[in-house]
Amino acid sequence: MGNGLTSNSFDWRTKGIPAGGAPITAGELAARQWRVTREDLMLPVALLRKSALLHNSDWMRRFTALTGVRLAPHGKTTMSPELFAMQMADGAWGMTAATPGHVRIYREFGLQRILLANQLVGRQAIAYVAGELARDAGFDFYCLVDSVRGVEILEAGLSRTPAGRPLQVLIELGYAGGRSGLRDDAEALQLARRIAASPLLSLRGIEAFEGIVQSRDEAETLVGGLLHRIRALGEAVLAEGLFEGRPILSAGGSSFFDLVAGDLSAPAFDVVLRSGCYLVHDSHFYRDLVERLIRRSPAAASLGEGLRPALEIWAHVLSRPEPTRLLAGLGKRDTSDDVRPPTPLGWCRPELGETVQPLHGHKVVRLDDQHAYLDIPADSPLQAGDMISFGISHPCTTFDKWRTIFIVDDDLTVIDAITTCF
Amino acid sequence: MGNGLTSNSFDWRTKGIPAGGAPITAGELAARQWRVTREDLMLPVALLRKSALLHNSDWMRRFTALTGVRLAPHGKTTMSPELFAMQMADGAWGMTAATPGHVRIYREFGLQRILLANQLVGRQAIAYVAGELARDAGFDFYCLVDSVRGVEILEAGLSRTPAGRPLQVLIELGYAGGRSGLRDDAEALQLARRIAASPLLSLRGIEAFEGIVQSRDEAETLVGGLLHRIRALGEAVLAEGLFEGRPILSAGGSSFFDLVAGDLSAPAFDVVLRSGCYLVHDSHFYRDLVERLIRRSPAAASLGEGLRPALEIWAHVLSRPEPTRLLAGLGKRDTSDDVRPPTPLGWCRPELGETVQPLHGHKVVRLDDQHAYLDIPADSPLQAGDMISFGISHPCTTFDKWRTIFIVDDDLTVIDAITTCF
């Protein structure tokens, strides 16, 4: 999964590289036939199953085709040029970015359409974006605005560093107690008028981020209300003729994109989803959320098998100091711990062969920087030197722990690698 | 702070690099006179105050000299070759590593004395260490053992991949409900006999990790009990003549190293502290723990000013969607959130000048991947585009979010940079 920008040469800096550690390119990996169950890799190591990546990417391609929406996946999940290339090849309309630094990285990855899902502030950030807009007529860039102050910052920055064309913005709506975005729709309409009157800006759409309500019981109701506000504001702004070009309505974390696709679709608008986690998925948190989504959404259910967890982390048992306490060699430096701790999936002991046996009743109860504490049954067979595979919860905060992740086939043999740029 | 191993050339991959983004070497940074308060950097950015680093490094040098102990700082905190070089130049005896992957990185950084503070398991890991021991007679390596199983794993590995000399091990003690290490001292003495009888191993000392009790009220009592066990076991093993060479007693997170230095010191032993956080320190968690340490320790108190927080993260205000809610552009990808969220320290608004005003009553209440949610007073002057400096809690889980951290003088002007290798 190489691209022209990363050298894709791996060495002692790469977690997982075997003992010899001589530099190796991605293209040379498959010939080595490294397999984790044969202890060919140094642990901990992160592995992405190619079949799951391909399945998930195709699943989302079919979902967006079926629902008639566009996809600008949130690239912050993986920050990986190889995975971005896969997403664009599978028909993504563009990529969503979280920070100006991400925008710069995406540009170096070769992306031409980027939606920055924040207000653009800061002298360096505005200068960078304006410079790119001026330099490359094919650069199609969007950012958010949620206040007159945000408009004034952009105008001041673009006066200092001209972009040569209007900067495309979407108005962000939000809700009380939530993240950014206007709480008041009348104020949002006023802001639309203000933007439309600015020669430096071009009003291209309305958006919100609904993702942070994901764990609440009343989530669907809250999301539905926010989507209704996006669409109503879009229609009001459209009625006043304040948009330039065909307007965009956008929302979409990774838990409610079915509602976004359903509630925002209307002939006058393009709908842009921004889900980021679908490609890698997980073994717990998003698994549950997407199972709920599929139960809710006939379109999603019609696609057959849902998303598959693509990422596993393998670690050694370091110690079993008590019959029911086990320490494994993975920690906060290796896996997400912000939503739920990792889930032990299976184990194997090299001297007994390569079969991965399922694990039941083993639970991660604490992570230190480099250690996982597991509560285990007293009759668990595990002992120091055994290997455990862990599923993760929350791909975003696992990916940023790895600069290289090996791609494996269904036999857990390394066939390729992807890089990240956090 | 360059060394021969890192190219120290920074470009668009480097968070904080200004808009132009042309590659720049560490040696060229000072001439640019980039200053965060002049908006010369893209935010978020992490800054290390050189004066604080030098002060802290010297403070620990004086503490270990005064108490007569050796220091093998836990390098996992920073994983930075430039900071390792500073610690070794200030008299560190060696460096502590958390994983075999870290050992390999340390070797590439040029380190000759490494204490791996875990059992060494896994075919690749043992093969790597054995290969290094065989290749370089000057490599002085130690690891831990806490079970017969751990001994057997090492013996099997060293039979497969001979090291050419005995592998030096320390027996790890632990306590019920804690991390690794033997809970039972009689069993530990049996293990010492087992190790002493092994031609492939050499018993060099006794150790424990006391750090995880740091937040408990009865912490000093628990730590004192563990240190007493280390020393008692050391004396029993010594009485039986099971050690090779002058034995080592070791412990030491970053919260109780005064107790370790006090309770383990005895004529027959070398004491090795393993504190890692002292160099960078923080603005909350370790600040409180080290203040407690200094109140407890006449030796530490005699050194004058205690440790200084060296690390700050600067981020822009992205939005203030409600009078008492503010969003800033830093998140779990930029700062630790595992102990306590970051602490807003000060702010400035470029158009009002470069003075950093202190912030009171502003509190981070939630972090998303790339956003901080602050509760702020309704009369706070902050608005989108302002810059906030944040102090951190827990250097380890902040450092791993950055591949490059700029070194600044007391004027917040960039004068150098360090790299990390996570």
Helix (H) or strand (E) holding B118: strand B113-119
Residue-range domains of chain B with CATH: 9-50+308-419 (2.40.37.20), 74-275 (3.20.20.10)
Enumerate the residues of chain A whose CB falls inside 8 A of the CB of residue B338.
332, 337
Closest chain B residue by Cα to residue A122: B385
Enumerate the residues of chain B whose CB falls inside 8 A of the CB of residue A100.
42
Please report, for residues A134, A202, A318, B1, B203, the alpha-carbon distance to residue A126 in angstroms, rounded to integers and kept in the order given: 12, 16, 49, 31, 61
Dist CA B96 CA B114 (whole Å): 6
Helix (H) or strand (E) holding B251: strand B248-251
Would you call A421 an interface residue with chain B, using a CB distance cutoff of 8 Å? yes
Would you call A202 an interface residue with chain B, using a CB distance cutoff of 8 Å? no
Query: For A27-61, b where at least 16 C-beta lie within 10 A, e where not — what string?
Result: eebeeeebbbbebbbbbbbbbbbbebbebbbebbb
Q: Pairing mode, if any, of strands B95-97 and B70-71? A: unpaired
Would you call A149 an interface residue with chain B, using a CB distance cutoff of 8 Å? yes
- In this structure, the number of other CB atoms found within 10 A of the CB of residue A93 comes to 18
Asked whether the beta carbons of residue B179 and residue A401 sit closer than 8 angstroms, the reply is: no
- pLDDT one-digit tens code per residue, A225-262: 999 999 999 999 999 999 999 999 999 888 899 999 99
Asked whether the beta carbons of residue B369 and residue A15 sit closer than 8 angstroms, the reply is: no
Distance from CA of B180 to the nearest CA of A (A): 6
Enumerate the residues of chain B whose CB falls inside 8 A of the CB of residue A125.
19, 42-43, 316
Confidence check: pLDDT of B2 > 50: no
Average pLDDT for chain B: 95
Is A303 in contact with A62 (CB distance < 8 Å)? yes
Percent of chain A with pLDDT over 90: 89
Helix (H) or strand (E) holding B93: none
- pLDDT one-digit tens code per residue, A10-68: 999 999 999 887 899 999 999 999 999 999 999 999 999 999 999 999 999 999 999 99
- Comparing C-alpha atoms, which of A232, A193, A227, A233 is closest to residue A213? A227
Bigger pLDDT: A218 vs A23: A23
Asked whether the beta carbons of residue B121 and residue A400 sit closer than 8 angstroms, the reply is: no
Dist CA B103 CA B152 (whole Å): 21
Instruction: Provide the 3-class DSSP secondary structure of residue B297.
Output: coil
Chain B 95-114, residues with CB within 8 Å of chain A CB atoms: 98-101, 104-105, 107-108
Enumerate the residues of chain A whose CB falls inside 8 A of the CB of residue B131.
19
CA-CA-CA-CA torsion sign (A288, A292, A293, A297): positive
By mean pLDDT, which of B8-12, B342-346, B396-400 is the weakest?
A: B8-12
Would you call A124 an interface residue with chain B, using a CB distance cutoff of 8 Å? yes
Q: Residue A91, CB half-sphere, CA atoms under 13 Å: how many? A: 15
Query: Tokens 């500073």 identify what position?
Result: B86
Given B44, B131, B403, which is nearest A19 (Cβ)?
A: B131
Name the H helices within B3-67: 26-32, 50-67
- Comparing C-alpha atoms, which of B357, B352, B353 is closest to residue B388? B357
Is A2 in contact with A27 (CB distance < 8 Å)? yes
- pLDDT one-digit tens code per residue, A333-370: 999 998 899 999 999 998 899 999 999 999 999 999 99
Dist CA B52 CA B79 (whole Å): 18
Confidence check: pLDDT of A308 > 80: yes
Query: Tokens 């430039």 identify what position?
Result: B82
Chain B 50-79, residues with CB within 8 Å of chain A CB atoms: 76
- Mean local confidence (pLDDT), B272-281: 94
Closest chain A residue by Cα to residue B370: A98
Dist CA B8 CA B56 (whole Å): 24
Would you call A320 an interface residue with chain B, using a CB distance cutoff of 8 Å? yes
Q: Which two tokens stand for residue B87?
A: 């610690």
Distance from CA of A302 to the nearest CA of B (A): 32
Asked whether the beta carbons of residue A316 and residue B180 sit closer than 8 angstroms, the reply is: no
**Strand residue runs (E) in A128-230:** 140-145, 167-173, 201-208
- pLDDT one-digit tens code per residue, A71-90: 999 999 999 999 999 999 99
Is B100 in contact with B306 (CB distance < 8 Å)? no
Dist CA B107 CA A24 (whole Å): 19
Instruction: Provide the 3-class DSSP secondary structure of residue A354.
Output: coil
Enumerate the residues of chain B whose CB falls inside 8 A of the CB of residue A41.
124
Instruction: Provide the 3-class DSSP secondary structure of residue B65.
Output: helix
Percent of chain B with pLDDT over 90: 89
Identify the bridge partners of residue A328 per DSSP, sorted by sequence position.
Answer: A317, A372
Model confidence at A214, in pLDDT bands (50, 70, 90)? Answer: low
Query: For A193-214, b where at least 16 C-beta lie within 10 A, e where not — what string?
Result: ebbbebebbbbbbbbbbbbbbb
In 3-state terms chain B splits into helix, strand, coil percentages (rounded to 5) of 35, 25, 40
Distance from CA of B334 to the nearest CA of A (A): 10
Dist CA B389 CA B215 (whole Å): 27
Give yes or no for a cis peptide into A344 (omega within 30° of 0): no
Given A107, A108, A350, which is nearest B123 (Cβ)?
A: A350
Asked whether the beta carbons of residue A332 and residue B76 sit closer than 8 angstroms, the reply is: no
Query: What Rg, from alpha-carbon coordinates, does chain A have?
Result: 23
Query: Tokens 């999603």 identify what position?
Result: A300
Would you call B339 an interface residue with chain A, using a CB distance cutoff of 8 Å? no
- Mean local confidence (pLDDT), B192-216: 90
Dist CA A188 CA A146 (whole Å): 8
Asked whether the beta carbons of residue B98 and residue A325 sit closer than 8 angstroms, the reply is: no
Asked whether the beta carbons of residue A19 and residue B128 sit closer than 8 angstroms, the reply is: yes
- In this structure, the number of other CB atoms found within 10 A of the CB of residue B381 comes to 12
- pLDDT one-digit tens code per residue, B316-348: 999 999 999 999 999 999 999 988 999 999 999
Would you call A400 an interface residue with chain B, using a CB distance cutoff of 8 Å? yes
Query: For A322-349, b where at least 16 C-beta lie within 10 A, e where not — what string?
Result: eeebbbbbbbbbbbbbbbbbbbbbbbbb
- List CB contacts of A62: < 8 A, sequence separation 6 or more: A303
Chain A 165-194, residues with CB within 8 Å of chain B CB atoms: 174, 176-183
Interface test with chain A among B14, B316, B401, by most A beta carbons within 10 Å: B316
Asked whether the whole model's pTM tops 0.90, one would answer yes
Check residue A35 and report its DSSP letter: B
Q: State residue A211's pLDDT score.
A: 76
Dist CA B258 CA B294 (whole Å): 8
Interface test with chain B among A38, A99, A383, by most B beta carbons within 10 Å: A99
Q: Residue B379, CB half-sphere, CA atoms under 13 Å: how many? A: 1
